[in-house]
């Protein structure tokens, strides 16, 4: 047995005791953070951001005028269309003789109301060869970076949003008269592009030529019919709002972290009394009743500020009844009150129908998922097609060793 379960259990017990002992401190910090939200002054907050922007170690999001506000859901339409898109992929396998990867996108189009119906589909897209499996610098064709790891994750996100745009475009004329919500799983902020070492030409290729182009296409559709899109993040781990609370809780006129707290350890800084160890959802869990959402915040991501323009990411937190979720949307959705209300009401409704998770995303995931057996079969297919073309298939000895048992 590779893992000593008895020793692991002892360490888990120690961990649980430590977590239990920290609950009271966490609750006190959460209450203090809530008080800061209730006492929020927008003018003072903006002035503090301007004064401290280059010396504050955290990145505060844009705050609404009333960040402590809790907003109840409005009645959702009886007749509407919910379209969920999700994706999965098979990464490049360096242990085989061909360079390729596969992205599988799943779509669930669910119509509710007088004429309910459902359309489920999945579409595999194989990428192979040098031009498909690398991103090239348009200004210097000798520069390129392979599509793998985090960059492949970003490319998959592009495929998902392009699939959503196509699904929205393909709605028939009758259904196009209905309110439509398009949902994707996860954040709209391309976090995979924030990894150190990713060059600017890769970011521009993925965003300008893919992700943002698809979002702009959807934005154009929304001008002629009631189409809203959003992303749903289950059990979010974000601390963006908490970063803003750190700024609110700083006792110094200028929040210069290095000058005032550069020699202080974590837990000793004044702002730790409000934010240490807390996630955004921890604070809003105590403020939001079932179905309620927060006001709208604006993403603090430098990537968003630098590249997204009219697709700048806005977000709110919502109590779905089962969890505090984060819902993100482009600025052009967030700036229209009726669109935000539609997103709010339909997300809550979809979570009810999906046992705590949006039904359309749950079904899309089932269409997109690539199982372990699918991955093995894909490798077998690669072997078959290569040998069918009289090409030798081989694997590395390391990969071979994983396929056999020594003992």
Answer whether 238's CB lies under 8 Å from 279's CB.
yes
Could you give the CA distance from residue 364 to residue 83 in angstroms, rounded to a whole number?
9
Answer whether 100's CB lies under 8 Å from 128's CB.
yes
Q: What pLDDT, on a 0 to 100 scale, did the predictor assign at position 174? A: 82
- Residue 395's pLDDT band (cuts 50, 70, 90): low
Q: What CA–CA distances, in Å, run from 293 to 153, 317, 319?
A: 29, 5, 6
Q: Taking residues 283-292, what's their average pLDDT?
A: 96
pLDDT digits (tens, 9 = 90+) for 218-241: 999 999 999 999 999 999 999 999
Is residue 214 scored above 70 in pLDDT? yes
Could you give the CA distance from residue 333 to residue 311 in angstroms, rounded to a whole number?
9
Is residue 400 scored above 60 in pLDDT? no
Answer whether 117's CB lies under 8 Å from 106's CB.
no
Could you give the CA distance from residue 135 to residue 157 in angstroms, rounded to a whole number?
15
Strand partners, 128: 100
Q: Taking residues 354-362, what's their average pLDDT?
A: 97
Could you give the CA distance from residue 301 to residue 55 in angstroms, rounded to a whole number?
17
pLDDT digits (tens, 9 = 90+) for 240-275: 999 999 999 999 999 999 999 999 999 999 999 999
Q: Taking residues 172-191, what's their average pLDDT?
A: 93
Is residue 124 scored above 80 in pLDDT? yes
- Residue 61's pLDDT band (cuts 50, 70, 90): very high
Could you give the CA distance from residue 33 to residue 146 in angstroms, rounded to a whole number?
44
Phi then psi dihedrals of residue 353, to 5 deg? -70, -25
List the domains of the chain with CATH numbers: 80-235+328-373 (3.30.420)
Is residue 404 scored above 80 in pLDDT? no
């Amino acid at each position: 047995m590779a893992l000593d379960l008895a020793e692991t259990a002892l360490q888990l017990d120690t961990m649980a005791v430590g977590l239990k002992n920290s609950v009271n401190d966490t609750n006190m910090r959460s209450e203090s953070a809530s008080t800061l939200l209730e006492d929020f002054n927008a003018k003072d907050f903006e002035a503090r951001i301007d004064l401290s922007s280059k010396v504050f170690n955290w990145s505060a999001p844009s705050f609404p005028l009333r960040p402590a506000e809790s907003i109840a859901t409005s009645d959702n339409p009886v007749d509407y269309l919910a379209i969920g898109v999700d994706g999965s992929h098979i990464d490049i396998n360096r242990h085989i003789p061909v360079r390729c990867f596969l992205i599988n996108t799943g779509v669930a189009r669910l119509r509710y109301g007088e004429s309910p119906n459902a359309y489920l589909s999945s579409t595999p897209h194989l990428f192979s060869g040098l031009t498909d499996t690398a991103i090239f610098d348009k200004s210097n064709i000798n520069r390129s970076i392979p599509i793998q790891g985090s960059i492949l994750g970003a490319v998959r996100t592009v495929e998902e949003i392009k699939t959503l745009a196509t699904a929205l475009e393909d709605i028939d004329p009758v259904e196009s008269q209905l309110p439509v919500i398009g949902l994707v799983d996860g954040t709209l902020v391309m976090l995979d592009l924030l990894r150190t070492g990713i060059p600017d030409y890769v970011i521009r290729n993925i965003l300008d030529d893919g992700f943002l182009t698809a979002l702009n296409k959807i934005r154009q559709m929304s001008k002629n019919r009631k189409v809203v899109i959003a992303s749903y993040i289950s059990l979010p781990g974000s601390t963006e709002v908490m970063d803003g609370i750190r700024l609110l809780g700083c006792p110094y006129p200028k929040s210069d972290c290095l000058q005032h707290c550069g020699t202080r350890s974590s837990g000793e800084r004044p702002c730790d009394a409000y934010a240490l160890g807390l996630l955004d959802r921890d604070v809003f869990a105590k403020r939001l009743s079932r179905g309620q959402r927060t006001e709208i915040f604006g993403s603090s991501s430098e990537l968003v500020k630098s590249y997204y323009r009219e697709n700048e990411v806005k977000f709110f937190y919502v109590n779905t009844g089962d969890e505090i979720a984060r819902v993100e949307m482009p600025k052009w959705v967030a700036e229209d009150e009726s669109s935000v209300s539609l997103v709010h009401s339909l997300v809550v409704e979809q979570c009810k129908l999906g046992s705590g998770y949006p039904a359309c995303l749950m079904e899309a995931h089932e269409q997109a998922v690539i199982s372990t057996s699918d991955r093995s079969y894909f490798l077998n297919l690669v072997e078959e097609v290569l040998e069918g073309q009289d090409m030798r298939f081989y694997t590395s000895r390391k990969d071979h060793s994983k396929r056999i048992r020594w003992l």
